[in-house]
Chains A and B, each alone.
Chain A
Amino acid sequence: MSLTISVASGKGGTGKTLVATALTRILADQCPLIIDTDVEEPNAALFLPVSNLQVEPVHRLLPVIDDDMCTYCGICAEVCEFGALTVLPQQVLVFPELCHSCGACAGLCPERAISEENSLIGQVETGSINGMGQLVAGRLNIGESLSPPVIKAAKKKQAGADLTIIDCPPGTTCPMIEAVRDSDYCLLVTEPTPFGKHDLALALEACKLLGVEAGIIINRWQGEDNGIIDLAERFGTPILGYIPFSFELAKAYAQGQDPLKAMPELGGVLERVFRQIKESRS
């Protein structure tokens, strides 16, 4: 049975990429696929020995108006949920930054004056991690604001993988939802601070709405939970592990080194986390 674990957080900087890449390392014998869906700043590849990187472009559809056919009736602007089209008496303005490529304007134009054309917004990078499986990373072009199409394209590369680890973007808005959607399990990495707790609550709520089972790892653990344990109980979500605060780990991570060497007990923590996830699925 295949297994997809998404690693998300709510708050940024809690250790998603640390956990996702370290999990990839300890599960190397199962040849995992790690997908970096943090497409605004994909960095998982910095922490793993990746080679043979192949790059494919990602496009999205944008409306193009045929001025000869357009009667400036205004229906396209009316049906656009995102205000991406404005119809002037003799001109239609298209705002690509607002367009969500839903196709409503083209589909509902009574004159068939709108076609949809591909626009380049990013790329998907695929490579092998020496002795550890495969890596896929989505990368959104600078200046583009809509990341879900690149996340979708990266996740499409998943086909056939037995074990997939998805390194998710922070937050609980569309990009995070797109990354976590369809996972078998969502591993939420938090830190025991008020900010960490606040965003963990949002992430737990998001998992509940998505119907994805969740478990929590508390990173930078120094013995004070700051209400995280209460919060986890309220959602009926287990705390699967604690990663102790460690200056050595932070230093090694900042240099892109193997975190399992900087903190030998991290491997044991993550093995227990993985075992609990497997047990919850059986």
Chain B
Amino acid sequence: MSKIAVCAAGESLNSTVDGRFGRCAYLILWDEDNKSFKSIPNEAAQRAHGSGTSTAQLLVSEGVKSLLVGRIGPKAFEVMNKGGIKVYQAEEGQSVQMVLDACLQGDLEEILKPNN
């Protein structure tokens, strides 16, 4: 649970959740150990092909352990699954802070199969 990624429409904790995975605008990475975050503009969103797997690669490389997202496709989900990253349902339009709080309190539902 130490590193949590949220797909976001903007770069701050007040930004809203972007429902998309591969084409979300920003990835906000919350580090629970240091209680700090960093936001990464999702360059893979501009790709013509493979934005899902490329975004998934970024999360693997960043050592993320949990992902909060609205929708995720089969290929990205496979990467999450094999990479040991748990995926949780975040509601599009809620703030990043809200879904992070909900996640840390154990209130988010785990996504067990691709939903997009």
Q: Which residue of B lies closest to A98 (CB)?
A: B50
Contacts A81-B49, A91-B82, A98-B75: A86 and B44 contacting too (C-beta < 8 A)?
A: no
The 7 closest A-B pairs by CB, nearest first: A83-B50, A83-B53, A83-B54, A82-B49, A82-B50, A98-B50, A88-B83
Chain B residues in 8 Å Cβ range of A88: 60, 79, 82-83
Total interface residues in chain B, CB < 8 Å: 17
* Interchain CA distance A47-B53 in the complex, whole Å: 43
* Interchain CA distance A83-B56 in the complex, whole Å: 10
Among B52, B57, B78, B79, chain A packs the most CB atoms within 10 A around the CB of B57
Total interface residues in chain A, CB < 8 Å: 18
B66 at the interface (CB under 8 A from A): no
Q: Is the CB of B75 within 8 A of A95?
A: yes
* Interchain CA distance A95-B53 in the complex, whole Å: 9
Which secondary structure dominates chain B's binding surface? helix
* Interchain CA distance A74-B50 in the complex, whole Å: 16
Q: Is the CB of B49 within 8 A of A93?
A: no
Among A77, A83, A87, A88, chain B packs the most CB atoms within 10 A around the CB of A83
Q: Is the CB of B82 within 8 A of A83?
A: no
Chain B positions 27 through 69: 1 when the CB is less than 8 Å from some CB of chain A, otherwise 0: 0000000000000000010010111111011001100000000
Which residues of A does B touch, CB under 8 Å? 74, 77, 80-89, 91, 93, 95, 97-98, 100
Q: Is the CB of B60 within 8 A of A83?
A: no
Chain A residues in 8 Å Cβ range of B49: 81-83, 98, 100
Pick from A80, A83, A93, A97: contact of B51, CB under 8 Å? A83
Chain B residues in 8 Å Cβ range of A77: 54, 57
Chain A residues in 8 Å Cβ range of B50: 80-84, 95, 98
